[in-house]
Amino acid sequence: MTKTVGLIVGSLRKNSFTRAVAEQMAAFLPEDYVVKDIEIGKLDLYNQDLDDENRVPESWQNFRAEMKTVDAVIFATPEYNRSVPGVLKNAIDVGSRPYGESIWDKKPAVVLSVSPGAISGFGANHHLRQSLVFLNMPALQQPELYIGNVTELLDDNLKIKNEGTLKFLADAMNTFADFIERLS
């Protein structure tokens, strides 16, 4: 059955390595899957007063409504100072409130971390996984998706040139689709 998967990328950079890898990875989902790019760069910063006082910014309203239309989520994150970028954490926080109305609850997720460095964004990947536990999002455990030394894997057009990496990402998306089906 058709499923819609939200793609949330934690980098706003136009030539983002993370986005490049994430988009090519998501394209390996089965044909009847629709990938929806979820914009998080224009979300107002989370402030609980705005929820409590019914002054919910339009950016939050649109984001929360859009997230209700997706069946599962791909989180693709760079690593900033061994954690996730603030823009991604802000999106997680905005989606998690008001209390009891989280848009994340029970949605299957997969985490991809990407870095030019050798540690592959491990810190960001696991900080994000820590939030997913609290958000009650079942996260794909294996394969773990750490893409390190990314500049060596991409050509000048940001296309993945390494066959082994392409196969790894394709297999991962098949496993993720099975995971989503099992939880449906």
For ligand FNR, the binding residues (CB under 6 A) are 11, 13, 16-18, 78-82, 114-117, 119, 121
| Strands of the chain, DSSP E | 3-9, 33-37, 72-77, 109-114, 145-147
Least separation, in Å, of the C-beta of 114 and ligand FNR? 6
Contacts of residue 31, defined as CB under 8 A and 6 or more positions apart, other chains included, come to: none
Nearest approach, Cβ of residue 51 and ligand FNR (Å) = 28
Q: How far apart are CA 37 and CA 98, in angstroms?
A: 23
- The least distance separating ligand FNR from the CB of residue 82, rounded to whole angstroms, comes to 4
Residue number with CB closer to ligand FNR (61 or 149): 149
Q: How far is the CB of 80 from ligand FNR (least distance, A)?
A: 4
Q: How far is CA 174 from CA 13, 153, 167, in A?
A: 28, 21, 11
Measured in degrees and rounded to the nearest 5, phi and psi for residue 142 equal -135, 140
Q: Burial letters for 88-102: b for 16+ Cβ neighbours within 10 Å, e otherwise?
A: bbbbbebbbbeeeeb
Q: Which of 16, 131 has the CB closer to ligand FNR? A: 16
Question: Shortest gap between Cβ of 134 and ligand FNR (angstroms)?
Answer: 22
Nearer to ligand FNR, 76 or 103 (CB): 76
CA geometry: angle at 59 spanning 12 and 180, to 5°? 70
Which residue's CB is nearer to ligand FNR, number 147 or number 180? 147
Contact of 13 with 77, CB cutoff 8 Å? no
